[in-house]
Amino acid sequence: MSGPWNDFNSAQSNTTVIPKGTLAKVRLTLRPGGFDDPSQGWTGGWARCAATGAVYLDAEYTVLEGPYARRKIWSLIGLYSPKGPDWANMGRGLIRGILNSARGVSDKDTSPEAQARRRIAGFGDLDGLEFVARIDIGQDTNGEDKNEIRAAVTPDHRDYAALMGTVAPQVGAAPAQSHVPPQTTAAAQPSQPAAAPRVAGRPSWAQ
């Protein structure tokens, strides 16, 4: 007997990664880690602390449209590393880009309105944001390729409006209110930790 449910040589491989540099609209979902440090502004149980002392947000990105729709990418957003400030600086830069992209703010816009849109009440405000991501490729602890998200595409990019389905604002102009997603406060979010963190996605300086 031979058929698609007997011979799987022609089945689609699940090990392929999305090509490096692909732009896609994604939805960010944070997996609560149960770690808080109010002195740092880390409240609501969103942060996760590794055994090494590294602190991060456990992020899941779902591709919403295009040929890779419904694909998921798991990546970490660094908050602190005992090895130095680089990981935290990268994490803050990524969050700035996500806010710019999700809220339709030019990265060059320094108006009071733009600055207000780059502020959050807590990490819970990031959960559920939709933005345009630039998909990258990294490696897991076994040396296998895996997709990561290290940068967001802002309205300054020529393809942003088409991917987001919006009109990009001009530099210095206040973004339209319609681009601001509903915000929630960290207090309204779950504070219990989720499953154990994925070690495979941890950057080398967070080991």
Q: Residue 107 phi/psi, 5° resolution?
A: -65, -20
pLDDT score at 1: 62
**Mean per-residue pLDDT, 30-49:** 96
Q: How far apart are the two ends of the chain, measured CA to CA in Å?
A: 49
Residue with tokens 């710019």: 100
Average of pLDDT values for 58-79? 95
Average pLDDT over the chain reads: 83
pTM of the model: 0.74
Q: Of 71, 67, 54, 75, which Cα lies nearest the Cα of 138?
A: 75
Q: What is the pLDDT of residues 101-154, one digit of tens each?
A: 999 999 999 999 999 999 999 999 999 999 999 999 998 888 889 999 999 999
| Coil/strand/helix, residue 28 | strand
Reported as a single tens digit per residue, the pLDDT across 164-199 is: 986 444 444 444 443 444 444 333 344 344 444 444
Q: Taking the CB of residue 13, how many other CB atoms lie within 10 A of it? A: 5
Q: What's the longest Cα–Cα distance across the chain?
A: 70
* Cα–Cα dist 84/160, whole Å: 33
The token pair that represents 26 in the structure block: 């994604």
Are 54 and 110 spatial neighbours (Cβ–Cβ below 8 Å)?
A: no
pLDDT for the residue 14: 61
Q: How many CB atoms lie within 10 A of CB 40?
A: 12
Those residues whose C-beta lies under 8 Å from the C-beta of residue 143, and which sit 6 or more positions away, are none
